[in-house]
């Protein structure tokens, strides 16, 4: 099988041969010709002429192009299948909210449908009703708040909200906000003030008298401040906010 070289490649090739075998290819050589090289030398030659810049293109058959296209389509469909199914409509969550949150949910919630357990649009504004709605739940819950500034934020709680004499929950709990872009605030390890359910308020995160997210008994007034549990930023535009709508989702 013949090999073709450009003029530039031939020049480089000849210069290389002259350097390595001047007695054969140099100007003082008696008989110019070919020379047998050792395997190690051959690898040096190969490396010398190898292109250090990877090609941004390649020649493939039509069959290979079709195969790659079909594989790409498969993975695109698979990615879409990973999106959770919402068994109930949401007045707060849009596709990009769900996509972002899904990427950070605990592994034990992945692959499960999202079920709406409480919504102010459906159940009214009552913390007591919220507790009652979650009484039969034993999975993590996703709290979604929309304030009067149309900002979306909330928390993933490792345990359902309930009345408690002390803080409960685990390091799975985190706060998040879409104000102005998506951010997530995980457990800092500084304390374990994850969740506290009182009759007159719901608290997530704490330290030095500040709550990461606080809601009153009517689920109407709220507050968000940086707290040591999550080292979070203020989730809303203003520390004190008015709730426009609120939803709590579970995973089944």
Profile the chain (252 residues) by mean pLDDT over runs of 10 residues: 51 63 60 53 54 51 61 46 86 96 95 96 96 97 98 98 97 96 97 97 95 98 98 97 98 94
Reading the block at residue 65, the tokens are 């192009």
Cα distance from N-terminal residue to C-terminal residue, the chain: 65
Domain spans of the chain, in order of start: 7-57, 95-251
- The dihedral built from the CA positions of residue 185, 191, 196 and 201, taken in this order, carries a sign that is negative
Q: What is the pLDDT of residue 77?
A: 47
Please check whether residue 233 is in contact with residue 153, taking contact to mean a CB–CB distance below 8 angstroms. no
Q: What is the pTM of this model?
A: 0.69
Q: What is the pLDDT of residue 7?
A: 47
Euclidean distance between CA atoms 215 and 109, whole angstroms:
25
Q: What is the pLDDT of residue 75?
A: 42
Euclidean distance between CA atoms 234 and 244, whole angstroms:
18
Strands 183-185 and 152-157: unpaired
Q: What is the pLDDT of residue 191?
A: 97
Q: What is the pLDDT of residue 83?
A: 82
In Å, what is the CA distance from 229 to each residue of 101, 163, 223, 239? 20, 20, 16, 17
């Amino acid at each position: 099988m013949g090999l073709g070289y450009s003029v530039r490649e031939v020049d480089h090739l000849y210069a290389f041969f002259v350097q390595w075998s001047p007695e054969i290819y140099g100007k003082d050589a008696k008989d110019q010709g070919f020379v047998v090289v050792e395997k190690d030398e051959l690898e040096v030659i190969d490396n010398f002429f190898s292109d250090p810049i990877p090609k941004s293109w390649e020649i493939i058959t039509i069959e290979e192009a079709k195969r790659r296209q079909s594989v790409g389509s498969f993975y695109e469909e698979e990615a879409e299948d990973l999106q959770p199914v919402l068994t109930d409509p949401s007045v707060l969550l849009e596709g990009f909210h769900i996509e972002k949150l899904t990427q950070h949910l605990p592994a034990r919630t992945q692959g499960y449908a999202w079920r709406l357990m409480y919504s102010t649009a459906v159940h009214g504004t009552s913390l007591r009703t919220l507790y009652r709605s979650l009484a039969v739940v034993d999975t993590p819950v996703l709290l979604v708040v929309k304030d009067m500034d149309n900002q979306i934020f909330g928390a993933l709680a490792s345990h359902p909200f309930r009345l408690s004499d002390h803080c409960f929950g685990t390091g799975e709990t985190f706060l998040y906000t879409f104000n102005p872009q998506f951010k997530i605030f995980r457990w800092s390890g500084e304390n374990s003030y994850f969740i506290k359910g009182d009759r007159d308020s719901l608290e997530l995160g704490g330290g030095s008298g500040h709550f990461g997210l606080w809601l009153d008994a009517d689920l109407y007034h709220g507050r968000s401040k940086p707290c040591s549990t999550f080292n979070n930023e203020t989730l809303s535009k203003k520390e004190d906010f008015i709730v426009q709508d609120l939803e709590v989702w579970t995973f089944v």
